[in-house]
Amino acid sequence: MLLRHTLKEEVKREALTINPAKTCQPVGAMYAALGIHSCLPHSHGSQGCCAYHRSALTRHYKEPVMAATSSFTEGSSVFGGQSNLIQAINNIFTVYEPEVIAVHTTCLSETIGDDVDQIVAKAKDDGKIPEGKFVIHASTPSYQGSHVTGYANMLKGIVKGFAQPSDVPRDQLNVITGWVEPSDMREIKRLCHMMGVKFVMFPDTSDVLDAPQTGKHQMYPDGGTTIPELQSTGASSHSLALGEWSSLEAAKELDRKCKVAYDVLEIPIGIKATDRFVSSLSKHGNVDVPKMITTERGRVVDIITDMQQYLWGKKVALWGDPDILVPLVEFLVDLEMKPTYIVSGTPGKKFKQKMEAILKDAVPDAKVANGPQADMYLMHQWIKNEPVDLLIGNTYGKYIARDEDIPFMRLGFPILDRIGHSYFPTVGYSGAMRLLEKMLGLFMDRQDRDAPEESFELVM
Ligand code: SF4
């Protein structure tokens, strides 16, 4: 019993968080920056923060994550980090030769009040930023929000740094992806290609954090959205922002800066959210939905029809990022499952509203919480009082799964103890098939394990 100290009785907590269902803002900023081609993320703070953010990403993606740091000392903590950052910019462009440095702040540099805008302007004035190279930045104080907020802030920084207004519109859409796996980004691109729309997708971590083993070290892998592509987003006809928490701010900034109108959609997880994405591509890209996409959708519906008896009525507890949870819960409700407990460490008033709208008829007594006190401890308390049939969330749920003997499907960030998430998508219709296969496998394994000999079935 690793979590033997979890109490059944809930006590209202005002300030204490126990086992948070989130991580810190710069982790998200670093991940978003890696979706730009030839970009070196830079952490403006102490070495410890940068080491943590890099290791969080490296452990999840099983790829080396390169990033630089301003390496604050006691002196910079008191007097500010301007000289460290200017020296870092000079060193990085001289030694590591990226096209872009994406600076994000940390708790320390935010608390000091470093003005990164001004520091970058000074670096430019001092000739430390070579011609044709870029330094973008995002403010990511980790005492607010979560890794999702940091991701959103860096996406906004990308738009601020690159998008160029244009009087000559381009026949292309912007697809702004929320925080999903490299495999999901590849799948979103595949859907766009199948639809026949012209598009720029950013960020794009496919071929960066799932790059093939070639035997040669490549400091900047082949993937990532290129600078000309990012610059062209200001001339696109429309933006599709996938995931309100992670991509809305970037879409708004594109609208404000370049007058590119936008739609906010859910990340296309499950059938309905994928339908909405495909319909939106069809509408704004002015294309018809091809038969091969309808056929893929039909295959998902067929699996659901065949396997409905294993899914119906199953109670599920979920934790993770709001942009993943909202469409996922909708998908589970479509499968006639019962998402019973839902927590997200990421704050935002709309979370509960969206969940209530999805769950009001299907699971009216579902418990939903988000924000700092919506943590894994609370989730465990709920489960101790009334167990569920399945857990869905990141690796930190494995303690609850073991203690309570509940099947566990890993999904979200971080996954530290399995592979597959960065290689196989969970978005789109093919992603829905994968989700179904994983859930059904868990339910059937459990049924096989617990069945008395006379009910142990060969055919299921
Ligand atoms: S000090 Fe702040 S930015 Fe650094 S690792 Fe901790 S929470 Fe993250």
- Decide if 323 is inside a domain: yes
- Decide if 74 is inside a domain: yes
Distance 24 CA to ligand 1 centre (A): 6
- Decide if 10 is inside a domain: no
| 297 and 434 share one domain | yes
Nearest CA to ligand 1 atom 8: 24
- The full DSSP string for 244-303 is HHHHHHHHHHHHHHH---EEEE----HHHHHHHHHHHHHHHHT-PPPHHHHHHHHHHHHH
- Position 427 scores a pLDDT of 98
Angle at 279 between CA 286 and CA 164, to 5 degrees: 60
- Position 12 scores a pLDDT of 87
Residue spans of alpha helices (H) in 80-115: 82-95, 107-112
| 128 and 32 share one domain | yes
- Decide if 245 is inside a domain: yes
Q: How many domains does the chain have?
A: 3
| 199 and 314 share one domain | no
Mean pLDDT (10-residue bins), the chain, 460 residues = 88 91 96 98 97 97 96 91 97 98 97 96 97 97 96 98 95 97 98 98 97 92 97 98 98 98 98 98 98 98 97 98 98 98 96 97 97 95 97 97 98 96 97 98 97 95
Residue 107 CB less than 6 A away from ligand 1: yes
* Separation of alpha carbons 19 and 21, rounded Å: 7
- Decide if 167 is inside a domain: no
Q: Is 127 exposed, middle or buried (0-12, 13-18, 19+ CB in 10 A)?
A: exposed
DSSP three-state, residue 206: coil
Domain final residue pick, 117, 137, 162: 162
Amino acid at 307: M
| 138 and 110 share one domain | yes
| 46 and 179 share one domain | no
Q: Are 59 and 35 in contact (CB under 8 A)?
A: no
* Spacing of C-alpha 225 from chain mean position: 17
- Position 4 scores a pLDDT of 86
Q: Which domain holds residue 443?
A: 293-453
- Decide if 16 is inside a domain: no
- Decide if 117 is inside a domain: yes
| 297 and 437 share one domain | yes
| 347 and 449 share one domain | yes
- Decide if 19 is inside a domain: no
Q: Which of 103, 104, 107 to mutate to test the pocket of ligand 1 (most atoms within 8 A of CB)?
A: 107
- Position 14 scores a pLDDT of 86
Q: Which of 17, 22, 23, 24 to mutate to test the pocket of ligand 1 (most atoms within 8 A of CB)?
A: 24
| 440 and 403 share one domain | yes
Q: Which of 17, 27, 52 to mutate to test the pocket of ligand 1 (most atoms within 8 A of CB)?
A: 52
| 365 and 444 share one domain | yes
* Spacing of C-alpha 12 from chain mean position: 29
| 277 and 390 share one domain | no
Distance 133 CA to ligand 1 centre (A): 28
